[in-house]
Structure formats: C-alpha cells, structure tokens
A and B are shown apart, each in its own frame.
Chain A
Amino acid sequence: MSVSAPAAASSHAIPLLEGAGLSKTFGIVEVLKDIGLTVRAGEVHAIIGENGAGKSTLMKILAGNHQPTRGELRIDGKPVSFAGPVDAENHGIVLVHQEILLAPDLTVAQNIYLGRELGNGLALDDRAMNEGAAKAIRELGGDLDPNAIVSRLSIAQRQLVQIARVLLVPHRIVIFDEPTASLTPHETEALLKVIRDIRAKGVGVLYISHRLPEVKEIADRVTVLRDGRLVASHETAELQPADMARLMVGRDVAKLYPDRQAAAARETVLNVENFDVPGYAQNASFSLRKGEILGFAGLIGAGRTELMEGLVGLRPARGKVTLRGHSVAFTDVHSSLKAGVAYLSEDRKGKGLLLTKDLRTNLTLASLGKFIRGFQIDRQREAQALDTAIEEFDIRTGTKNILAGQLSGGNQQKLLLAKMMLLDPQVVIIDEPTRGIDIGNKEQIYKFIAALAEEGRSIIVVSSEMPELIGICDRIHVMRAGRIVGEVEGDHMNENEIVQLATGVKTGAGEAA
C-alpha cells in the first residue's frame, strides 16, 4: 500500500474505493498479501499479473465474492465489508465476469433483466424490458435486437449483453475481468471505446488483462501483482509494455524457454493435405518433421483446436493424412493413439483428467492394456508407473492418494502429459500447454516439450500465447477463420508478424492458393 498511497494523494483527496492491507489465505496458502489499492472516479486502473498472481482473488474480494482474511475496504473513505456480491452491488461495485454468464435460451432483453424483471407484480412488462434493453445496448454503441436469442449471438455480442446487464445496476465502480480474452482486435477496439465512455461518466474502472499493449492504451494507472503481492503501481505514462512484462514476470522473460538447437532437416513424420473439419477448418495442409516442434497460432475461434480434434478422430473430418508414409484416417481416439498420435486437450479439467478420481486411475486410463495381467489390472504395476511419472515429470503432490482435481493446474498438466506419454506416441499434439499455469510450472513444461522433441518425437503446440510459441517452436503456422493463412519461421517468428496474419491485416501465401 505504501506504493500506491502517494499516487492517490497526488490527485483527489478521497478515492472512490480503497483497499488497505488486503490479504487472503485459503487453507495454508496465502494467495494475496498486503495489497493496497485505490480507484478514483473517472479513471481506468489496470491490474496486471501472470496467471496465479492473485488478480482474480483480489477482484473477488472487491466484488464481495470473497471476504479478505485481513485488511480493510473503504468506500468514500468509510470502512465497508461485503456479505456477498449483492451487498457490493448495493454499494455500486459491479463486476463483468470473464466468462459469459447468460442463459443461452433466453432473449437479449430477458437476460439483461434476469432476476430484476419489470412488471406489475403479476405479469411481466416485456415492452418496457425490450425498450430498456435496446437503449442499454445502444448506449454501449451496439446494435442488437432485444428479442434475439442469446445462443445465436457471437461471443462479442454476448459480452455486450453481459456488460449491459451489469451496467443496469446503479454503479460507481465497474470491474472488467479480462474482457478481451476472446475478442478479435476489432471487437476489442469497440470494447475499449465502451470503457472510455463509462470512464467519461465519472465511473471508476478496474481493468484486468494480460494484454499489455491494450493496457497501455486504455489505462490511466497500472498496478502489477506477482505471487500475491503488489510489486509496482505507476501512472501508465511512465511504463512501456516491456516494463510491464518485466514487472509481471519478475525476471528476464527470455530465460523462460529452453535453449534448443534448430532441428536438422529430418524426415517428414506426418503429412496433412487438404484437410477439412466441416464447419471449423478448411483445406488445411501442413507437414511435421521428426523431432520438430510446430506451432499453431491464431485467435480464439480460428479453428486450431477443431483441426487437431478432427485429425485424431474426435470430429468428423476428411482429407489426406499420411503418417510415416502410410495413409491414415482416424475415426476415434483409440485408433489415433494406437498409431502413435496423442492429443492433449486444452480443456484439462473437462476432457483431460477425471478430477474426482485418483492419480493412478488417471495416469493409466489411456493405456490400461499395458497394465493387464490375465483378466486383471495389475495395480502394483500401476503404482510403479505412478511413482515413475511423479519423478519424471516432477508432479508435486504431498500424497499419492490425492484426487486429480486437487492438484494445481501445472501439476494436472504434468499428469496429463505423463498419461499420454505412457503410450509412447511419436506425434504429440498439445493444445494450450500452459493455460492457467503458474510461471514455474510453465518453465518446466517447456522443458518437457523440448525434451520430447529431443528424443525424436514430433510435437505440435497449439497456443494463444504468442511469446510461448515463439519461444519453443521451430516453425509456426497461423490460422484465421478456419484456414492456415501463413507460416513463419526463423527471424519472421515475431509477435507482429503473427498478429498481422492472425487478424488478416497481412495475407499469407496460404490464402492466395
């Protein structure tokens, strides 16, 4: 708090919202320690930090979802404490969630007024709600039919509905939790305008994001969290995105990625030609060499995940796939695994691991055939395999009898990697390998990926984090709207090049064809 106090004193005497010495402990883990933070009327205050830095926890405290273990919240200088989110709303603090929390089968207006419907106590006043909804959307610079069913809207449109819904509550402070995570640059620009409009009305805005250029553009002040502590709080004018990155990570970012020798021109292992996943990816052609790490970049919704899922037989697809010289067409994961192609889903919790089962069950699930003796599963061999995996992949757990859901995100990813490596696949496709993983585990996972390539396996990494792709890949394919629109390699592997291809600012060779 000592860091932010001078800044606060320099302008207004009493900030709208102030947190002093905020700490939060879950069990024995301290997720937030001694955070001091102010939000003034008519400013955008950005909170940045790596995953696991404590941003979400801090926001949840401000929005009344969590109570701080220690510390105090003040509004207009007066101490307050929130019993729950509704209580915080009554004080004028509203939160725009990162995830879209709307009822998909209801209309725009019905969603906006959900839980606070207008009416005469007996019948609903649909007309008033439709008008109110249309007005709210217009004020945000949008144009949506209040009668449109939410499930038919795009992500950006849904987000607009969500924001309109939140802003219907009388508010003085709006918290945006990574609002641009799934938006295109154009949509992001529109959202930033909405936020500027809100700010112009004298509302205090807290803005959480990883996207540093965006933060530089919108925020008046930036506070950096790392490992649950406040490491810096500055006027945005004093910081460049590179400084922000350094403060977030707390070390030289370059060291995060393992040193790799450029893969020598070795034989092609996997060749994909004119591959279609109807509705998601069209006409994809690429090849993968032995020992190579090939990246797939693109915006969310570009069809990268669906392309990979089509490739391993999780979705209906067609096209010519050649694996080590043999033509293959996988119709289910069983056949692709058998052929030595493993896919690790981006959705670890939903599609990768059985969260309510123990580590052993999870580890051997895909390769149970190797643990059968007679008719029985050899539990002793399973236990040995778990010991080996824990050691090899450095899965940190106090006890082996823990459920997979109790592991941290990083350790879950290591377990998933270990599970698939039991099958000894020659081609490993990893979708968002470090999503939701703290920096220490990230570094380890990059090392594992590099080591797998070193062993002669061929790796495909799908990721939305460009620095990660640039850091570990030999080549990167960029996808946009279901097509591979370009390939970058060597010196061309930089964020600027990839963003231009991913957003269509620059068209690649793939599109001309």
Chain B
Amino acid sequence: MNAVATDTTKAPRTSKDWDMAAIAPFVALALLLVLGYFANPNFVSVANLTNVITRSAFIAIIALGATYVISSGGLDLSVGAMVAFVASLMILFMNSGAVADPMLMLIAAMMLALILGAACGLTNGLITTVGKIEPFIATLGMMGIYRGLTTWLSQGGSITVRDRELQQLYRPVYFGDVFGVPIPIIVIFVTAALAAFVLYRTRYGRHVIAVGSNEEVARYSGISVQKVRTIAYVIQGLCVAVAVIIYVPRLGSTSATTGILWELQAITAVVVGGTALRGGVGRIWGTICGAFILEIVGNIMLLSNFVSEYLIGAIQGAIIIIAMLVQRTLMRK
C-alpha cells in the first residue's frame, strides 16, 4: 500500500484502514451475539433474534435516512417528532372515512404517509439550505413544531384507529410474515438494499458523499450543494414515513409521546455503524448493524441478570462513546 508518490508529511492513510472502520461494527455485533449466548443461551434462539430484529425495524429504517442526512453533512433532530406527527395524521385520515373500501383506504393512507413524510423532510431541507440555518437549530425548531402539532391533534391523549375491519386488515403489516420472515424484517432489508444502491451506485449518492466530504470541492465541481442536501432530508422524511407505515399497525394508535428520543437512537445507530458525523462517509449496512446492536444490547440486559434494565439508556450512551473512540483509533493509523 505504500506508494512512491505519497505525501509523506502526513500520516499515511490507506484505504485498508477505512475498510477496518467499516468492518468494526459487524465485529462488535458478532461479539455481542457471543456475549448474549453466555448471558442466556435462549438469546440466540431464532425466535428471540427474529423478535429483536423486528423491534429494531423503526430505528433501523429511520437511521437509513439519517445516514443520508449525516453523510451529506447535515443533521435531523426532528425525526422522532415527525414519526408522531405523520402517524397521527395518517390515523386521522383512516378515521375520516374518506375512502369507503378498506383496502383502498389502507393504500391511500400509506400513500398519504409517504407524501407527508416527504413534505416534512422537504420543509426541514429548505429551512437548512435555502434558509441557511444550522441543521441543528433548524431541526430542533421543527422537532418542537411537529411534536406540538401532534399534541394538539391528539389533545394531549392518543389517536386510535377506530375501524375494526381496517385494523384487522392493517395488522399483518407489522405482525405478518412471508415464509416465516416477519414483514418488518423484510422491509428493513429491502429499504436498506435500495438505500445502499442509491448511495453507492448512483450519481446522487456520489454527490451526497462529495458534498459531505467537502462542500467547496463539490460546488467547484458543478454540484448543487443545496439540492443534494435538500434531497437528503426528503429521503429522511420518506424513511420516517416507511417506519410509520409499519409502526401504526403495531399498536393501532399514537400519542403525544410516540417516537420520543428516536432521533437520538437513529443518530446513535448511524454513528455506531461507522458513518462519520462530520459527513463524507456513509455506511448503509453499518447503520443497519448499529440499529441491531442497540436493540440487542437492550435485549441482553433484559434476559440477563447482571445489569438492571433500567440502565439501558446509560449503556446505549456508553456504546456511542466507545464506538467513536474505536472509529477514531482506526482512522488515525
């Protein structure tokens, strides 16, 4: 790897090291599975793992969008509130009886969720790009707005799907399976495969990485930085909508507290997965891995007796810090 013409004044950094950083989360996941086995042999049962992965679906899918936003150099704190907001409107629409046929109603509601998600993402994107407001502040503000609107829509309580027939029809989207594989797991992998294709194989994906890596270089290369970033927020919104579509049938209702702190979990999954928070590196499968790690840690704590499950938050916090330390060590070599 040591080329002749390298700039020797800087520490040589070869593509090999980057590969190490990419593999790290998967190694961590494998270690966690081994640890889980010793904590409680039931942990590695197919039933338990399937269950855990299914539950990670919401965060995993939201985190896919966050991977785009973060690797383009942005940040979206509003996703948790956006879940609650989009879900509330979706249920209100289903309760409105605007479409008589339950099947058509369900399809229309799902389309509506996607449109709302995209619109919310577009709003976030335009405020940060055209409005030139720091993503942290812009999406912090939008978080308050989405959350506040949800609380108002639900009048502080919850919003429930009223139509029984519709509920029954919708239930399998979360609880159903295809050849034994739960639908949420299928959704995770299909969405991730699509996200990976777009990020790694298309012109837009290359532009996302370029913009996050160095905005000026992108601009001087004729790339519209604003457009690339705005689209990343729209993708984030669409991912939130997909998460909502599989979330709503789980309980059949939402409340003002739906999705609280999900934004932090999504960001954690992204960072644990090896995506750089400063932008320029995006790892789709790493993100999925990060989401699994978060859920599995919680599950191991529940199944074992070493640590109180009330400490889950603290452990997750420790994970993100450890992940950052590992990442930095790997990249510094």
A residues in contact (CB < 8 Å) with B: 26-29, 31, 314, 332-334, 336-338, 343, 345, 347, 350-358, 361, 365-366, 368-369, 372, 375-377, 396-399, 401-403, 405-409, 411, 419
> Considering the chains assembled together, what is the distance between the CA atoms of A375 and B201 in angstroms?
8
Instruction: Looking at the assembled complex, report how far the CB atom of A315 sits from the nearest CB atom of chain B, in whole angstroms.
Output: 11
Q: Which residue of chain A has the shortest Cβ distance to B215 in the bound complex?
A: A351
CB-based contact B222/A376 at 8 Å: no
Known: A354-B214, A357-B209. A366 touches B221 (CB 8 A): yes
> Considering the chains assembled together, what is the distance between the CA atoms of A406 and B2 in angstroms?
10
Known: A377-B202, A403-B13. A332 touches B217 (CB 8 A): no
CB-based contact A314/B219 at 8 Å: yes
CB-based contact B214/A334 at 8 Å: no
Asked whether B3 is an interface residue with its Cβ less than 8 Å from the other chain, the reply is: yes
Q: Pick the contact of A353: B1, B2, B6, B217 (CB < 8 A).
A: B217
Instruction: Looking at the assembled complex, report how far the CB atom of A378 sits from the nearest CB atom of chain B, in whole angstroms.
Output: 10
Q: How many residues of B contact A (CB 8 A)?
A: 33
Can you offer 5 A-B residue contacts whose CB atoms are under 8 A? A332-B224, A361-B210, A398-B2, A403-B14, A406-B3
Provide the residues of chain A in CB contact with B7, threshold 8 Å.
405-409
Provide the residues of chain B in CB contact with A338, threshold 8 Å.
222
CB-based contact B8/A26 at 8 Å: yes
Q: Which residue of chain B has the shortest Cβ distance to A412 in the bound complex?
A: B7
- 4 nearest CB pairs, A to B: A398-B3, A26-B8, A366-B221, A333-B222
Most buried by B among A358, A396, A403: A403
Instruction: Looking at the assembled complex, report how far the CB atom of B211 sits from the nearest CB atom of chain A, in whole angstroms.
Output: 10
CB-based contact A368/B220 at 8 Å: no
> Considering the chains assembled together, what is the distance between the CA atoms of A376 and B200 in angstroms?
9
Known: A351-B216, A376-B201. A407 touches B6 (CB 8 A): yes
Known: A333-B220, A333-B222. A397 touches B5 (CB 8 A): yes
CB-based contact B210/A365 at 8 Å: yes
CB-based contact A334/B2 at 8 Å: no
CB-based contact B217/A354 at 8 Å: yes
CB-based contact B203/A368 at 8 Å: yes
Asked whether B115 is an interface residue with its Cβ less than 8 Å from the other chain, the reply is: no
> Considering the chains assembled together, what is the distance between the CA atoms of A347 and B219 in angstroms?
13
> Considering the chains assembled together, what is the distance between the CA atoms of A401 and B13 in angstroms?
11
> Considering the chains assembled together, what is the distance between the CA atoms of A29 and B213 in angstroms?
29
Instruction: Looking at the assembled complex, report how far the CB atom of A347 sits from the nearest CB atom of chain B, in whole angstroms.
Output: 8
Q: Which residue of chain B has the shortest Cβ distance to A403 in the bound complex?
A: B13
Instruction: Looking at the assembled complex, report how far the CB atom of B118 sits from the nearest CB atom of chain A, in whole angstroms.
Output: 20
Provide the residues of chain B in CB contact with A355, threshold 8 Å.
214
Asked whether B328 is an interface residue with its Cβ less than 8 Å from the other chain, the reply is: no
CB-based contact B3/A27 at 8 Å: no
Provide the residues of chain A in CB contact with B4, threshold 8 Å.
396-398
Provide the residues of chain B in CB contact with A314, threshold 8 Å.
219-220
Q: Which residue of chain B has the shortest Cβ distance to A313 in the bound complex?
A: B222
Provide the residues of chain A in CB contact with B202, threshold 8 Å.
375-377
> Considering the chains assembled together, what is the distance between the CA atoms of A367 and B223 in angstroms?
10
> Considering the chains assembled together, what is the distance between the CA atoms of A345 and B216 in angstroms?
10
CB-based contact B206/A368 at 8 Å: yes
Q: Pick the contact of B216: A28, A350, A361, A402 (CB < 8 A).
A: A350
Known: A333-B221, A403-B15. A377 touches B206 (CB 8 A): yes
CB-based contact B15/A352 at 8 Å: no
Known: A26-B8, A26-B9, A27-B12. A366 touches B222 (CB 8 A): yes
Known: A26-B8, A375-B201, A402-B6. A354 touches B15 (CB 8 A): no
Provide the residues of chain B in CB contact with A337, threshold 8 Å.
222
CB-based contact B206/A365 at 8 Å: yes
Q: Which residue of chain A has the shortest Cβ distance to B276 in the bound complex?
A: A356
> Considering the chains assembled together, what is the distance between the CA atoms of A366 and B201 in angstroms?
16
B4-48: which have CB < 8 Å to A?
Answer: 4-10, 12-15
Provide the residues of chain B in CB contact with A352, threshold 8 Å.
217, 220
Provide the residues of chain A in CB contact with B12, threshold 8 Å.
27, 406
Contact with A along B221-254 (1 / 0, CB 8 A): 1111000000000000000000000000000000
Asked whether B73 is an interface residue with its Cβ less than 8 Å from the other chain, the reply is: no
Instruction: Looking at the assembled complex, report how far the CB atom of A432 sits from the nearest CB atom of chain B, in whole angstroms.
Output: 14
Q: Which residue of chain A has the shortest Cβ distance to B207 in the bound complex?
A: A368
Provide the residues of chain A in CB contact with B209, threshold 8 Å.
357, 361
CB-based contact A408/B222 at 8 Å: no
Provide the residues of chain B in CB contact with A31, threshold 8 Å.
8
CB-based contact B203/A377 at 8 Å: yes
Provide the residues of chain A in CB contact with B282, threshold 8 Å.
none
Asked whether B280 is an interface residue with its Cβ less than 8 Å from the other chain, the reply is: yes
Instruction: Looking at the assembled complex, report how far the CB atom of A426 sits from the nearest CB atom of chain B, in whole angstroms.
Output: 16
CB-based contact A398/B5 at 8 Å: yes
> Considering the chains assembled together, what is the distance between the CA atoms of A29 and B2 in angstroms?
12
Provide the residues of chain B in CB contact with A375, threshold 8 Å.
201-202
CB-based contact A27/B222 at 8 Å: no
Instruction: Looking at the assembled complex, report how far the CB atom of B219 sits from the nearest CB atom of chain A, in whole angstroms.
Output: 6
Q: Pick the contact of B220: A351, A358, A407 (CB < 8 A).
A: A351
> Considering the chains assembled together, what is the distance between the CA atoms of A356 and B12 in angstroms?
11
Q: Which residue of chain B has the shortest Cβ distance to A332 in the bound complex?
A: B224
> Considering the chains assembled together, what is the distance between the CA atoms of A401 and B10 in angstroms?
17
Additional A-B contacts beyond A351-B216, A376-B201, A402-B15 (12; CB < 8 A)? A333-B221, A334-B223, A350-B217, A354-B280, A357-B209, A357-B280, A365-B218, A365-B221, A402-B6, A406-B12, A409-B7, A419-B221
CB-based contact B222/A402 at 8 Å: no
CB-based contact A406/B6 at 8 Å: yes
Q: Which residue of chain A has the shortest Cβ distance to B201 in the bound complex?
A: A376
Instruction: Looking at the assembled complex, report how far the CB atom of A301 sits from the nearest CB atom of chain B, in whole angstroms.
Output: 20
Provide the residues of chain A in CB contact with B14, threshold 8 Å.
401-403, 406
Contact with A along B182-216 (1 / 0, CB 8 A): 00000000000000000001110011011001101
Q: Which residue of chain A has the shortest Cβ distance to B219 in the bound complex?
A: A333
CB-based contact A29/B220 at 8 Å: no
> Considering the chains assembled together, what is the distance between the CA atoms of A31 and B8 in angstroms?
10
Provide the residues of chain B in CB contact with A334, threshold 8 Å.
222-224
Q: Pick the contact of A411: B5, B13, B201, B214 (CB < 8 A).
A: B5
Q: Which residue of chain B has the shortest Cβ distance to A345 in the bound complex?
A: B220
Instruction: Looking at the assembled complex, report how far the CB atom of A217 sits from the nearest CB atom of chain B, in whole angstroms.
Output: 32
CB-based contact B8/A29 at 8 Å: yes
Provide the residues of chain B in CB contact with A402, threshold 8 Å.
3, 6, 14-15
> Considering the chains assembled together, what is the distance between the CA atoms of A461 and B107 in angstroms?
60
Instruction: Looking at the assembled complex, report how far the CB atom of A67 sits from the nearest CB atom of chain B, in whole angstroms.
Output: 14
CB-based contact A377/B3 at 8 Å: no
> Considering the chains assembled together, what is the distance between the CA atoms of A402 and B13 in angstroms?
9
Instruction: Looking at the assembled complex, report how far the CB atom of B42 sits from the nearest CB atom of chain A, in whole angstroms.
Output: 44
Provide the residues of chain B in CB contact with A406, threshold 8 Å.
3, 5-7, 10, 12-14
Most buried by A among B8, B13, B209, B217: B217
Instruction: Looking at the assembled complex, report how far the CB atom of A379 sits from the nearest CB atom of chain B, in whole angstroms.
Output: 8
> Considering the chains assembled together, what is the distance between the CA atoms of A407 and B8 in angstroms?
9
Provide the residues of chain A in CB contact with B280, threshold 8 Å.
354, 356-357
Provide the residues of chain B in CB contact with A336, threshold 8 Å.
222
Q: Which residue of chain B has the shortest Cβ distance to A400 in the bound complex?
A: B3
Provide the residues of chain A in CB contact with B3, threshold 8 Å.
397-399, 402, 406
Provide the residues of chain B in CB contact with A27, threshold 8 Å.
2, 6, 8, 12
Provide the residues of chain B in CB contact with A399, threshold 8 Å.
1, 3
Provide the residues of chain B in CB contact with A405, threshold 8 Å.
7, 10, 13
Instruction: Looking at the assembled complex, report how far the CB atom of A54 sits from the nearest CB atom of chain B, in whole angstroms.
Output: 12
